[in-house]
């Protein structure tokens, strides 16, 4: 038995201690892992590996939690199955993320409480349990990205819906889960149906009339819940009915409100009128469990920023149209805007102008916020919005300090969308070797995922086995009718008939080279990085089965003068111990300057003889780099350019991301069908192989 | 049985009754122009948005027979052009669907052209440019296409496999018509007409489609197509409860992912 393939025998205490020391390295040195290791010795190997894995995961967030998990693991595993154990650790990490170390430790220690909660289906519903389903539900409803997050009370700032971490207002957990849905839907409806005003209606001014602002907001929230339920009912009757069933009959004191506001076409102005009557009295609004609060300040602030951003997007897109703005000087007609059936259309001199999709989306979103397009976005400013002085500012400052004195391996151009030109040799690219990491890492991951890997192998074997029928063979499993006919003809005419009369199935020749570009930016630290590495393990299994040529490179960097590329597996390297060691060594480093990485890897990919070339990016967010320059528009435009260049060279790209806001910018980068957003980082390992299968078959 | 009867000949479909087709834009006029000018047409668009129905309708309108070939990756040149068969002791040549369509001056519709192997696709090249000829190599014959002959191909650009992209040299021979799911009111009209449901049910089905299309790229490869809506409508018209019909015909048809299924159920119940 060699050291690189772990046997399935149990680990002894001293071996466990070594492994624990590795994963708990960051903890105070005076503590020994000896006792913990003794405790783990009685477990089976699979359980031991599971514990070591989760201890490592936990320790990355906070070493103390790692310790606690390791210490309590034997007891926990006595009472919980594998998924229960995982849920227990994750609940602890979740508490750590949300409330800090103390809360996490308390939760983990309360093993009794956790087990009890798992056994008797609890009445409370947890946001963590409904979050991903709910957030997709909102995405379906709204079409524009609406994030979901936990907050002290339910409200929305128009871009994020905040919900309490737990709901127990109703008697059963199922009802409480429905309550989450109702709350989220009503909060979305606030953003969709005018609660925060429009261009014609200044909500802030309307609310400023009352000295007791808090009471006014409470009434406002309650009345809006009445109105919005009815408005929702027009388009989404099922949802409205569910909300109605959940809240039961309206409490007394709201009869008049229901009579006046509960109609499908009621507008927020009607709510405000009625609000004045409520405020004239002394009453407090009745409590509604399903209605969120209204945080006007947050909503207006976020909305104003969005409106500015989107107006700018629309204006820019319009500026590039011929005959409008910069190209032909000022004094042009503003484009005509036609808003019909919820679609926005611009026309110039009677001709409909085609805007890029993100500008159309921005216009749509403006329409949702304002009910019209703000006039400033229709004012031509041309590409001149970019000020030359601004650029000088961007480049100076900290950069000299960061400039490295090493000679780069290559320099790459970068696209500056403001100049509409490349900056020549702007990015300095270094290929940096990864110091080998834990030699057993891959083996450990494989052991933990034995079943999944077996499944992946089977699926990819099936692909590889896709056969092709080869005609005119000297032998084979079927008769080749065409050949037979020809032979018959030949024989009839006295010529020598061919003996190649059979068809044979042969394995399909796959001519595909795949490059995986792995985000090693700082933001991937922790779980994302783990998930990326596990994905690579699964991928390698899949690709080895399939026999496709593939390479893996990590990328990260710090300003344009230090763009680093880390070869993990080159095309000509085998998936061996060295490569496995490098996969283990992938870690979160600095920033995400994507364009240069794409250009470099495209170059490598281009040298491959395969007919089809595929570049797959695993990432957790948008392009970004130190300093403000690459962040935002610039980075996106450069990345887009780099992907276009790749496309022109016959390289097809695809992106897998866990950035929920990815839907905002990914269509612009990759095209509408060439990316996938995963809402759960732990799905990455299984999904990546799956996605590759879809891409490459 | 006569010997000739044993040799199957490709089907020329003569469309007698007007198929129901709801025009979305100016595609009908464009197609007619292309036909007059003897240009081949490429229909692009997501699955189930009416491409096949459109071709049937145009074949009826132009009073041409229609030959449809569903492309797949085992489709050989011989499958399209023709081959020799043995009848009794003799060889008999049988035209493939493409050759038959050319000879008859029909409309030949190659559905899902990306699925065909690359070497198969090239036989249509001389047919799809100014030459308008089909080379029947086995017989050493060049068949010139008569004026009414028209080649129509379709493909779905949403396909994500890099192995299945249409080559520029193929693509640039065609006049391209873009199809997409129509505006809500128009789509509801189609669903009502095809599915046999009332206007309100049709409107809600289209609303559901819109919600699922919002999830494209965020868990779904494609949103619900018009076809799925028609299916759901037909079940409803047959007496199935709307929510059950939508779950079966729409939600389950879109994904196997258990998480996604939950979300789709929520959306179905939001609308019905
Ligand atoms: N414009 C339309 N007019 C009438 N019916 C339509 C229209 N669009 C879609 N349909 C309906 O949708 C169904 C599916 O359309 P069709 O089979 O033509 O799709 P397709 O675009 O060819 O899809 P695929 O790419 O999957 O083959 C049709 O049977 C018809 O009921
Ligand atoms: Mg079709």
A70, pLDDT greater than 80: yes
Minimum distance, in Å, between the CA of residue B169 and any CA atom of chain A:
14
Give chain A's domains with CATH numbers. Answer: 13-119 (no CATH), 127-192 (no CATH), 199-294 (no CATH), 297-377 (no CATH), 441-461+510-696 (3.40.50.410), 467-507 (no CATH)
Same domain, B116 and B12: yes
Which sign, positive or negative, has the C-alpha torsion A678, A679, A682, A683? negative
DSSP string, B188-219: HHHHHHHHT--HHHHHHHHHHHHHHHTTBTTT
Of B163, B219, B260, the CB nearest to A512: B163
- Asked if this assembly's ipTM is beyond 0.85, the reply is no
Out of B117, B148, B178, a domain closes at B178
Q: What is the mean pLDDT of residues B261-267?
A: 92
Same domain, B63 and B147: yes
B202 in any annotated domain: yes
pLDDT band of A403, cuts 50, 70, 90? very low
pLDDT band of A354, cuts 50, 70, 90? low
Q: Which residues contact B95 (CB under 8 A, 6 or more apart)?
A: B9, B10, B81, B82, B103
Q: pTM for this one? A: 0.67
Q: Measured between alpha carbons, how far is A352 from B204 in angstroms, rounded to an integer? A: 30
Is A614 or A357 the better-scoring residue by pLDDT? A614
CB-CB under 8 Å, B272 with A673? no
Position B272 scores a pLDDT of 92
Phi, psi of A412 (to 5 degrees): -125, 150
Q: Measured between alpha carbons, how far is B158 from B45 in angstroms, rounded to an integer? A: 8
Position B57 scores a pLDDT of 97
Same domain, B171 and B66: yes
Q: How far is the CA of A343 from the centre of ligand 2 (A)?
A: 28
Q: What digits encode the pLDDT tens for the residues A174-199?
A: 899 999 999 999 999 999 898 998 88
Q: Measured between alpha carbons, how far is A489 from B31 in angstroms, rounded to an integer? A: 45
Out of B113, B147, B178, a domain closes at B178
Q: What is the mean pLDDT of residues A280-286?
A: 89
CB-CB under 8 Å, A676 with B162? no
Q: What is the DSSP-derived secondary structure letter of residue B157?
A: T
- Give which of A86, A87, A69 is closest to A33, Cα–Cα: A69
Same domain, B236 and B153: no
Position B54 scores a pLDDT of 97
Same domain, B149 and B15: yes
Q: What digits encode the pLDDT tens for the residues A450-466?
A: 888 888 777 777 666 55
DSSP string, A595-607: HHHHHHHHHHHHT
User: Tokens for A560?
Assistant: 């344009």
Q: Which residues contact A191 (CB under 8 A, 6 or more apart)?
A: A142, A146, A156, A158, A299, A368
A32, pLDDT greater than 80: no
Atom from ligand 1 closest to the CA of residue B50? 18
Is A347 or A646 the better-scoring residue by pLDDT? A646
Q: Measured between alpha carbons, how far is A293 from A151 in angstroms, rounded to an integer? A: 12
Give the lowest-confidence range in B129-143, B158-172, B237-251. Answer: B158-172
> Which residue in this structure is represented by tokens 């792995």?
A518
Same domain, B114 and B206: no
Q: What digits encode the pLDDT tens for the residues B49-61?
A: 999 999 999 999 9
Position B4 scores a pLDDT of 44
Q: What is the mean pLDDT of residues A264-292?
A: 91
Give the lowest-confidence range in A112-121, A246-255, A279-288. Answer: A112-121
Minimum distance, in Å, between the CA of residue A342 and any CA atom of chain B:
10
Q: What digits encode the pLDDT tens for the residues A582-611?
A: 999 888 888 888 999 999 999 999 888 888
Q: What digits encode the pLDDT tens for the residues A74-127?
A: 999 998 888 888 889 888 887 887 778 888 899 999 998 888 877 765 678 888
B266, pLDDT greater than 80: yes
Position A545 scores a pLDDT of 80
B254 in any annotated domain: yes
Q: Which of B53, B180, B186 best tests ligand 1's pocket when mutated (most atoms within 8 Å of CB)?
A: B53
B12, pLDDT greater than 80: yes
Q: What is the DSSP-derived secondary structure letter of residue A696?
A: T
A633, pLDDT greater than 90: no
Q: How many domains does chain B have?
A: 2
Q: Which residues contact A602 (CB under 8 A, 6 or more apart)?
A: A615, A642, A645, A646, A649, A651
Q: Which of B50, B152, B253 best tests ligand 1's pocket when mutated (most atoms within 8 Å of CB)?
A: B50
Q: What is the mean pLDDT of residues A251-280?
A: 92
Cβ-based contacts of B26 with chain A (< 8 Å): none
Same domain, B156 and B232: no
Q: Which domain holds residue B235?
A: 184-271
Position B90 scores a pLDDT of 74
Could you give the dihedral angle defined by the CA atoms of residues B165, B169, B173 and B175, in that order, rounded to the nearest 10 degrees?
Answer: 40
Position A466 scores a pLDDT of 56
Query: HSE-up of A297 (CA within 13 Å, CB side)?
Result: 2
Which sign, positive or negative, has the C-alpha torsion A497, A499, A501, A505? negative
Same domain, B19 and B128: yes
B209, pLDDT greater than 70: yes
Position A627 scores a pLDDT of 67
CB-CB under 8 Å, A143 with B214? yes
Position A290 scores a pLDDT of 92
User: CA-nearest residue of chain A to B210?
Assistant: A140
Position A326 scores a pLDDT of 41
Same domain, B69 and B202: no
Is B198 or A173 the better-scoring residue by pLDDT? B198
A437, pLDDT greater than 80: yes
Residue A283 Cα to chain centre, angstroms: 46
A335, pLDDT greater than 90: no
Continuous H helices in A193-212: 203-207
pLDDT band of A341, cuts 50, 70, 90? low
Q: Measured between alpha carbons, how far is A265 from B243 in angstroms, rounded to an integer? A: 26
Same domain, B76 and B19: yes
Query: CB of B48 closer than 6 A to ligand 1?
Result: yes
Out of B178, B213, B237, a domain closes at B178
Indicate the average pLDDT of chain A: 81
B1 in any annotated domain: no
Same domain, B209 and B267: yes
Q: What digits encode the pLDDT tens for the residues A474-525?
A: 877 778 887 888 788 778 777 778 888 888 777 666 778 889 999 888 877 7
User: CA-nearest residue of chain A to B74?
Assistant: A468
Same domain, B170 and B190: no
pLDDT band of A325, cuts 50, 70, 90? very low
Minimum distance, in Å, between the CA of residue B6 and any CA atom of chain A:
16
CATH number at residue B50: 3.40.50.300
User: CA-nearest residue of chain B to A239?
Assistant: B270
A221, pLDDT greater than 80: yes
Q: What digits encode the pLDDT tens for the residues B61-114?
A: 999 999 999 988 778 788 899 887 767 777 788 899 999 999 999 999 999 888
């Amino acid at each position: 038995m060699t050291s690189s393939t772990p046997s399935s025998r149990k680990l002894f205490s001293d071996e466990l201690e070594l492994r624990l020391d590795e994963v708990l390295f960051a903890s105070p040195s005076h503590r020994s892992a000896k006792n913990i290791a003794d405790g783990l010795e009685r477990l089976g190997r699979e359980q031991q590996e599971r514990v070591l894995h989760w201890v490592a995961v936990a320790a990355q967030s906070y070493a103390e939690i790692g310790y606690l998990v390791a210490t309590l693991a034997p007891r926990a595993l006595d009472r919980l199955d594998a998924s229960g154990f995982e849920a227990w650790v994750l609940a602890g990490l979740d508490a750590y993320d949300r409330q800090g170390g103390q809360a996490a430790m308390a939760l983990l220690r309360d093993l009794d409480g956790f087990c009890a909660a798992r056994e008797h289906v609890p009445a409370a519903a947890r946001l963590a349990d409904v979050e991903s389903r709910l957030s997709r539900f909102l995405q379906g409803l709204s079409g524009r990205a609406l994030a979901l997050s936990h907050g002290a009370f339910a409200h929305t700032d128009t871009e994020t819906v905040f919900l309490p971490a737990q709901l127990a207002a109703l008697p059963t957990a199922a009802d409480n889960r429905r309550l989450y849905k109702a709350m989220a839907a009503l909060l979305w409806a606030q953003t969709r149906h005018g609660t925060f005003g429009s261009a014609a209606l200044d909500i802030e001014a309307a609310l400023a009339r009352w000295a007791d602002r808090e009471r006014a907001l409470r009434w406002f929230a309650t009345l809006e819940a009445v109105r919005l339920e009815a408005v929702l009912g027009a388009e989404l009757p099922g949802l409205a009915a569910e909300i109605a069933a959940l809240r039961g009959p309206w409490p007394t004191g709201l009869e008049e409100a229901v009579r006046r506001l509960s109609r499908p076409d009621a507008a927020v102005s009607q709510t405000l009128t009625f609000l004045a009557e409520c405020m004239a009295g002394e009453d407090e609004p009745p409590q509604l469990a399903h209605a969120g609060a209204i945080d006007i300040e947050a909503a207006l602030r976020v909305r104003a920023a969005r409106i500015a951003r989107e107006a700018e997007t629309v204006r820019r897109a319009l500026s590039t149209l011929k005959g409008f703005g910069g190209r032909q000087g000022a004094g042009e007609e503003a484009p005509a805007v036609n808003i019909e059936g919820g679609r926005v259309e611009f026309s110039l001199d009677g001709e409909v102008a085609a805007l890029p999709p993100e500008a159309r989306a921005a216009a749509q979103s403006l329409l949702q916020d304002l009910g019209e397009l703000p006039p400033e976005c229709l004012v031509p400013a041309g590409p001149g919005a970019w000020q030359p002085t601004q650029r000088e500012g961007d480049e100076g400052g900290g950069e000299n300090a960061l400039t490295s004195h090493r000679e780069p391996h290559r320099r790459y151009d970068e696209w500056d969308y403001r100049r509409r030109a490349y900056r020549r040799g702007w990015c300095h690219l270094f290929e940096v070797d990864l110091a080998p990491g834990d030699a057993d890492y891959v083996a450990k991951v494989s052991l933990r995922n034995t079943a999944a890997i077996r499944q992946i192998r089977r699926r990819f074997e099936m692909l590889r086995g896709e056969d092709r029928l080869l005609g005119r063979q000297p032998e084979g499993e079927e008769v080749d009718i065409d050949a037979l006919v020809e032979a018959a003809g030949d024989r009839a005419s006295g010529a020598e008939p061919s003996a190649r009369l059979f068809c044979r199935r042969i394995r399909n020749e796959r001519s595909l080279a795949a490059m995986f570009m792995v985000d090693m930016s700082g933001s991937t630290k922790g779980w994302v990085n783990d998930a990326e590495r596990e994905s690579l393990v699964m991928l390698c299994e899949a690709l080895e089965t399939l026999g496709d040529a593939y390479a893996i490179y990590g990328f990260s960097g710090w300003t344009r003068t230090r763009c680093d590329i880390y070869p993990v597996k080159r095309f000509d390297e085998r998936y061996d111990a060295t490569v496995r060691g490098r996969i283990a060594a992938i870690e979160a480093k600095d920033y995400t300057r994507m364009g240069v990485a794409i250009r470099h890897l495209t170059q490598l990919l281009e040298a491959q003889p395969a007919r089809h070339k595929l570049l797959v990016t695993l990432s957790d967010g948008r392009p970004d780099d130190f300093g403000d320059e690459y962040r935002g528009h610039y980075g996106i435009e450069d990345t887009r350019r780099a992907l276009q260049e790749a496309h022109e060279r016959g390289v097809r790209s695809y992106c897998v991301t866990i950035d929920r806001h990815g839907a905002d910018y990914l269509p612009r980068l990759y095209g509408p069908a060439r990316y996938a957003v995963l809402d759960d980082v732990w799905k990455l390992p299984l999904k990546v192989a799956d996605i590759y299968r879809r891409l490459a078959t | 049985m006569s010997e000739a009867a044993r040799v199957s000949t490709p089907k020329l479909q003569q469309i007698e009754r007007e198929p129901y087709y709801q025009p979305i834009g100016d595609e009908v006029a464009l197609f007619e122009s292309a036909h007059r000018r003897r240009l081949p047409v490429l229909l692009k668009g997501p699955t189930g948005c009416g491409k096949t129905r459109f071709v049937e309708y145009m074949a009826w309108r132009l009073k041409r027979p229609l030959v449809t070939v569903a492309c797949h990756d085992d489709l050989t040149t011989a499958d399209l052009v023709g081959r020799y068969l043995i009848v009794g002791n003799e060889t008999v040549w049988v035209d493939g669907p493409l050759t038959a369509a050319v000879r008859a001056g029909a409309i030949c519709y190659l559905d899902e052209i990306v699925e065909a192997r690359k070497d198969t696709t090239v036989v249509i090249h001389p047919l799809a440019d100014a030459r308008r000829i089909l080379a029947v190599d086995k017989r050493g014959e060049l068949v010139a296409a008569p004026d009414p002959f028209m080649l129509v191909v379709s493909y779905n650009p949403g396909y994500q496999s890099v192995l299945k992209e249409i080559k520029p040299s193929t693509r640039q021979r065609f006049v391209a018509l873009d199809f997409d799911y129509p505006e809500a009111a128009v789509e509801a009209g189609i669903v009502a007409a095809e599915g046999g449901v009332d206007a309100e049910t049709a409107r809600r089905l289209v609303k559901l489609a819109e919600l699922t299309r919002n999830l494209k790229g965020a868990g779904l490869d494609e949103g619900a197509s018009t076809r799925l809506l028609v299916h759901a409508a037909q079940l409803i018209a047959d007496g199935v409860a709307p929510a059950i019909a939508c779950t079966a015909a729409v939600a389950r048809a879109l994904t196997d992912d258990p998480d996604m299924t939950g979300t789709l159920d929520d959306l179905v119940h939001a609308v019905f």
